[in-house]
């Protein structure tokens, strides 16, 4: 009896053992496993699993898959284009000229005269305005859609025929023609003078550009004149306003005490500064013919400085011959040589003076083709290269080569200079006969032959030792500072106007 009672008491004191679920039991077994057993179990599990490799998609397939996923998310609606971030810089606009169909169509529409399209274009320079020699009658200038003032008409034909050369000469002639146009202009009764006068000048400027592309200095002069007209005081009468514009143009051209003078007096000031760099015994080398270099050398010779000049020249214009003749008549000792002899005489040269058509904001100099070769050769011989240039020829544009922006002239000039250069007894013949009996006479009939007559080349900043201007001698790195100062001066003058 006692044994049965003890068994019942033990059963009451000890609770029954709970039965664990299978997954809980497996977890308990896993916890109880050692690290080695757990690692072995994991390897066995991975060994039994098989992974399918995804096929490698191309870029187009991935893009199509992403587009399908977008359509599925949007319920079949077309995906909206992703907006670009506002801070993303816009790509620079391509400054195409004549190889862009839209630009060609726009230029043809705005042109005052319609010229014949060039037949034999050099592919690398097809974006530049092409030259095609035509007569004045074929230009249809007498029957154009806009009235051309006689002074502008005469000047444009001189540009087209190449009878007016030199940056300063072309710019002064253009401003003089503008003066004549303004004198003959009479504003209509219902028009504001400053608006109608600017509208009148636009087709005249376009006509000059059609005859021959203007230089950097001419473009700056045109902007100056148009700015003067745009800032005229509305309260002035027509006669007073015209007189004011004419006085401003005169101050831009002629010698004056005003700071606005940028051409003639500037050329004299440049020559004065450059003369200080010429000493006794110097051998000066220059290329082709620049008006400012001629004035400089004559002024230095008049100052009793003993030096001699080497004039380097090249085809097709042989402009150096005119410079040699002018210097010889003035008494300056000089010698004449072709550009192929440049490296042979550079060892005796002490300084190189060169003219420039424009100085870009990155310090590069745009000048007559062949100038860059003279500057680079001088650099190899450790000879200083001084560019003489007025500040009105400075440009805020950056140019890295002579391909993107340049000017093409008549390719027949190369043929004519070749004929007269190779046969001396043809020198006195007319130009029509000069190229009639040599190998290049029928070059237009040869399909695989094209002639390229570039006007300018570009000298990089590292080959420019100094730039001589009317405000002094400055390094090429200071060109942007000069441009900023002139821009501030112009803005201040505009603010002072009533």
Q: What are phi and psi of 295, to 5 degrees?
A: -65, -40
Q: Output the pLDDT for position 129.
A: 82
Put simply, whether the predicted model's pTM sits higher than 0.85 gets the answer: no
Convert the pLDDT of each residue in 170-206 to its tens digit: 999 999 999 999 999 999 988 889 999 999 999 999 9
Q: Number of C-alpha atoms within 13 angstroms, CB side, residue 448?
A: 0
Q: Output the pLDDT for position 196.
A: 94
Biggest CA-to-CA distance, the chain: 160
Q: Output the pLDDT for position 380.
A: 96
How confident is the model over 104-128, as a mean pLDDT?
A: 71
Taking each helix axis as running N to C, give the angle between helix 238-253 and helix 167-184, from 0 to 180 degrees, rounded to the nearest 10.
Answer: 170
Residues contacting 55, CB < 8 A, separation 6+ = none
Burial 413-425 (b: 16+ CB within 10 A, else e): bbbbbbbbeeeee
Q: Output the pLDDT for position 354.
A: 98
> Reduced to 3 DSSP states, what percent helix, strand and coil does the chain have, rounded to the nearest 5?
50, 10, 40
How confident is the model over 52-80, as a mean pLDDT?
A: 72
Element (H, E) at 200: helix 193-211
Q: Output the pLDDT for position 92.
A: 46
Residues contacting 419, CB < 8 A, separation 6+ = 426, 434, 435, 438, 440, 441
**Which is nearest to 394 in space by CA: 243, 219, 241, 251?**
219
Which range is most confident: 4-18, 110-124, 470-484?
470-484
Question: What is the average pLDDT score of the chain?
Answer: 81
Convert the pLDDT of each residue in 362-391 to its tens digit: 999 999 999 999 999 999 999 999 999 999
Q: Output the pLDDT for position 137.
A: 43
Element (H, E) at 388: strand 385-388
Q: Which two tokens stand for residue 473?
A: 């001698």
Distances (CA, A) of 437 to 111, 308, 310, 426, 427: 38, 40, 34, 10, 13
Q: Output the pLDDT for position 475.
A: 97
Per-residue three-class SS string for 3-46? HHHHHHHHHHHCCCCCCCCHHHHHHHHHHHCCHHHHHHHHHHHH
Contact 367, 459 (CB under 8 A): yes
Residue 432, pLDDT above cutoff 60: no
Q: Output the pLDDT for position 202.
A: 94
Q: Give the range among 248-252, 257-261, 301-305 with minimum mean pLDDT.
A: 257-261
**Which is nearest to 111 in space by CA: 98, 99, 121, 120?**
98
**Which is nearest to 360 in space by CA: 203, 219, 158?**
219
- pLDDT band, very low/low/confident/very high, at 71 (cuts 50, 70, 90): confident
Q: Which residue has the higher pLDDT, 35 or 498?
A: 35
- pLDDT band, very low/low/confident/very high, at 395 (cuts 50, 70, 90): very high
Element (H, E) at 48: helix 35-48
Q: Which two tokens stand for residue 403?
A: 């391909």
Q: Give the range among 59-63, 102-106, 155-159, 382-386 with minimum mean pLDDT.
A: 102-106
- pLDDT band, very low/low/confident/very high, at 9 (cuts 50, 70, 90): low
Q: Number of C-alpha atoms within 13 angstroms, CB side, residue 208?
A: 23
**Which is nearest to 410 in space by CA: 442, 451, 378?**
451
Q: What are phi and psi of 5, to 5 degrees?
A: -70, -40
Q: Output the pLDDT for position 464.
A: 98
Q: Output the pLDDT for position 97.
A: 55
Q: Which two tokens stand for residue 247?
A: 């006085």
Q: Give the range among 99-103, 237-241, 310-314, 472-476 with minimum mean pLDDT.
A: 99-103
Residue 280, pLDDT above cutoff 60: yes
- pLDDT band, very low/low/confident/very high, at 427 (cuts 50, 70, 90): very low
**Which is nearest to 145 in space by CA: 107, 174, 111?**
111
The strand pairing partners of 366, in sequence order, are 358, 458
How confident is the model over 430-440, as a mean pLDDT?
A: 58
Q: Which residue has the higher pLDDT, 133 or 412?
A: 412
How confident is the model over 146-157, as a mean pLDDT?
A: 88
Residues contacting 93, CB < 8 A, separation 6+ = none
Domains and CATH numbers, the chain: 134-253 (1.20.120.420), 266-407+455-479 (3.40.50.10470), 412-445 (no CATH)
Q: Output the pLDDT for position 116.
A: 61
Residue 465, pLDDT above cutoff 70: yes
Per DSSP, helices labelled H in 231-368 are 238-253, 264-275, 291-302, 320-330, 342-345
Q: Output the pLDDT for position 258.
A: 44
pLDDT-above-70 percentage for the chain:
71
């Amino acid at each position: 009896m006692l044994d049965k009672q003890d068994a019942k008491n033990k059963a009451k004191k000890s609770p029954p053992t709970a039965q664990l679920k299978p997954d809980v039991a497996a977890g308990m077994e896993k916890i109880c496993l050692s690290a080695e057993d757990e690692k072995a179990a994991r390897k066995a599990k991975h060994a039994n699993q098989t992974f399918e490799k995804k096929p490698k998609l191309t870029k187009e397939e991935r893009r199509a898959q992403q587009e399908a996923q977008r359509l599925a998310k949007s319920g079949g609606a077309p995906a909206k284009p992703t907006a670009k971030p506002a801070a993303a810089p816009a790509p620079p606009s391509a400054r195409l000229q004549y190889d862009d169909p839209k630009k060609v169509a726009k230029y043809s529409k705005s042109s005052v005269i319609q010229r014949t399209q060039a037949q034999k274009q050099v592919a690398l320079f097809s974006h530049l305005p092409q030259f095609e020699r035509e007569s004045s009658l074929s230009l249809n200038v007498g029957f154009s859609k806009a009235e051309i003032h006689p002074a502008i008409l005469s000047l444009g034909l001189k540009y087209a025929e190449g009878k007016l050369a030199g940056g300063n000469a072309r710019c002064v002639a253009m401003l003089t023609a503008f003066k004549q146009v303004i004198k003959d202009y009479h504003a209509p009764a219902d028009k504001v003078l400053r608006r109608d006068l600017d509208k009148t000048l636009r087709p005249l400027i376009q006509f000059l550009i059609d005859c021959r592309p203007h230089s950097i200095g001419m473009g700056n002069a045109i902007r100056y004149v148009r700015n003067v007209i745009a800032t005229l005081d509305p309260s002035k009468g027509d006669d007073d306003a015209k007189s004011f514009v004419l006085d401003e143009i005169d101050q831009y051209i002629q010698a004056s005490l005003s700071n606005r003078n940028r051409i003639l007096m500037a050329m004299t000031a440049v020559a004065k500064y450059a003369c200080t760099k010429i000493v006794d015994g110097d051998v000066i080398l220059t290329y082709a013919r620049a008006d400012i270099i001629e004035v400089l050398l004559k002024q230095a010779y008049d100052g009793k400085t003993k030096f001699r000049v080497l004039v380097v020249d090249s085809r097709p214009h042989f402009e150096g011959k005119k410079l040699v003749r002018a210097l010889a008549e003035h008494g300056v000792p000089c010698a004449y040589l072709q550009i192929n002899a440049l490296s042979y005489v550079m060892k005796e040269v002490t300084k190189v003076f060169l003219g420039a058509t424009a100085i870009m904001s990155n310090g590069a100099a745009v000048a007559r083709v062949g100038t860059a070769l003279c500057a680079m050769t001088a650099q190899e011989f450790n000879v200083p290269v001084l560019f003489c240039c007025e500040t009105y020829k400075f440009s805020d544009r950056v140019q890295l080569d002579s391909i993107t922006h340049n000017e093409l002239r008549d390719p027949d000039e190369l043929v004519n200079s070749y004929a007269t250069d190779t046969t001396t007894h043809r020198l006195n013949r007319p130009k029509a006969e000069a190229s009639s009996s040599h190998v290049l006479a029928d070059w237009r009939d040869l399909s695989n032959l094209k002639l390229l007559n570039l006007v300018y080349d570009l000298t990089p900043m590292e080959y420019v030792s100094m730039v001589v201007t009317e405000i002094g001698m400055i390094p090429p790195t200071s060109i942007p500072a000069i441009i900023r100062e002139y821009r501030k001066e112009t803005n201040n003058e505009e603010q002072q106007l009533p």
